Structure 1
Amino acid sequence: MGKIGVALTLAGTAALLPGCYPEAAACPAIGHIAGVSLSVAASYADQVGTLRLKACQDGTCTEKDLDLHPGAVAVDQGCTPDGVCSATSSPDGTLLGSIELPTLSESPLEATVSGTSPSGTALPTRTLTFTPRGDYPYGEQCGRVISAAVSLDEDGLSQT
């Protein structure tokens, strides 16, 4: 085999080598905001006019009036014979709001919700101490995401 044959063989072998190693998995370019999200149950939403959320963790408290937005669920629209599937969003009667925190860790967090009814009367103040959850929703190679979410209904606050 001549010099050109050896060069071509080496180039072909070098081109195949990357196939022997696992490729790095791509991570989504989604930013994560440290904060607490709150959902108001559909059965309680009509009793809520305004809400204020106070979140305290590791000696730091953040408090804010929540901008409440209607919640929704995805409704399956089915698939076509060629495999194209779709869904649409449908209001579910819930209300959603959130508060941004300077940082969020997996140490206990105290959430306190107060507010008023649509007629302006005070709602009961509800407090819950819970531990935010950490998970790897995109795989361990993409880093740990910590989330804190609570739900409010006529019985009080609960972690979701």
Structure 2
Amino acid sequence: MHKPGLLVAAVAAALVSGCEPAGTACPAIAQATSVALTVTAGYAPKVAALHLRACQDGTCKEADVELRPGSTSVDQGCTAEGACSATASPDGTKVAALMLETLTESPLVVTASGTASDGTTLPARTLEFRPQASYPFGEQCGKFLSASLTLDGDGLHQQQAPKSGGARKAPAG
């Protein structure tokens, strides 16, 4: 037997429980412990293959990394109902990641080497830096560490961590 009153009460309870004050819920997103690398659009055509080595706290990991086409997000705007969207657009960069067992705020030494598009050896580039801490979903949701680098013709450079602040808000309608 169906009890319509119980169904309505269950749906109402589910809706009310989802109406907590804004900013208190944290996304269930696991952080990837990796060194993320972006090869700039100007340098990407010269790079055929890359090898990354990362050392931190006495432990090193290295591997040939897969280069994938990079992209940028293009804002598609928001609807009057508050639904916002974006699309990815190729930007000429190449991206790769070296997965690590752990990532701490200790100094990290990363070396990038590889093969140029013409088959010659690329110059090895090394950078020592500290991974950056950020709170992309607010301090109540915990700290994320990032080890993000850019490779160009001049070498390796650390990218800035994303700013804290949480989710994008829809315009008032």
Shorter-chain TM-score category?
0.7 to 0.9
C-alpha deviation, 1:85, in angstroms = 4.4
Structure 1 residues 81 and 31, CA gap change in structure 2 (3 angstroms): closer
1:66 aligns with 65
SS in 2 for 1:150: strand
The more displaced of 135-144 and 64-73 is 135-144
Structure 1 residues 119 and 144, CA gap change in structure 2 (3 angstroms): same
Partners in 2 of 1:95 and 1:23 — Cα distance?
37
Partners in 2 of 1:66 and 1:50 — Cα distance?
8
Partners in 2 of 1:23 and 1:150 — Cα distance?
33
Q: Which amino acid aligns with 1:149?
A: S
2:83 is aligned with 1:95:
no
C-alpha deviation, 1:119, in angstroms = 2.4
TM-score (norm 1): 0.80
RMSD of aligned alpha carbons: 2.1
2:122 aligns with 123
C-alpha deviation, 1:129, in angstroms = 0.3
C-alpha deviation, 1:79, in angstroms = 4.8
Judging by fraction of residues, say which structure has more helix: 1
1:50 aligns with 49
Structure 1 residues 104 and 82, CA gap change in structure 2 (3 angstroms): closer
Partners in 2 of 1:29 and 1:82 — Cα distance?
25
Residue-pair matches, total: 140
C-alpha deviation, 1:158, in angstroms = 0.4
Q: 5+ unaligned residues in a row in structure 2: which ranges? A: 1-20, 160-173
Partners in 2 of 1:64 and 1:84 — Cα distance?
40
C-alpha deviation, 1:146, in angstroms = 0.9
Partners in 2 of 1:85 and 1:143 — Cα distance?
25
Higher-Rg structure is: 1
Partners in 2 of 1:29 and 1:81 — Cα distance?
27
Q: Which amino acid aligns with 1:121?
A: T
Partners in 2 of 1:42 and 1:24 — Cα distance?
37
TM-score (norm 2): 0.74
Partners in 2 of 1:56 and 1:69 — Cα distance?
23
Structure 1 residues 83 and 29, CA gap change in structure 2 (3 angstroms): closer
C-alpha deviation, 1:77, in angstroms = 3.2
SS in 1 for 2:42: helix
C-alpha deviation, 1:78, in angstroms = 4.0
SS in 2 for 1:98: strand
Partners in 2 of 1:24 and 1:90 — Cα distance?
30
Partners in 2 of 1:69 and 1:101 — Cα distance?
19
Partners in 2 of 1:92 and 1:107 — Cα distance?
32
C-alpha deviation, 1:68, in angstroms = 0.8
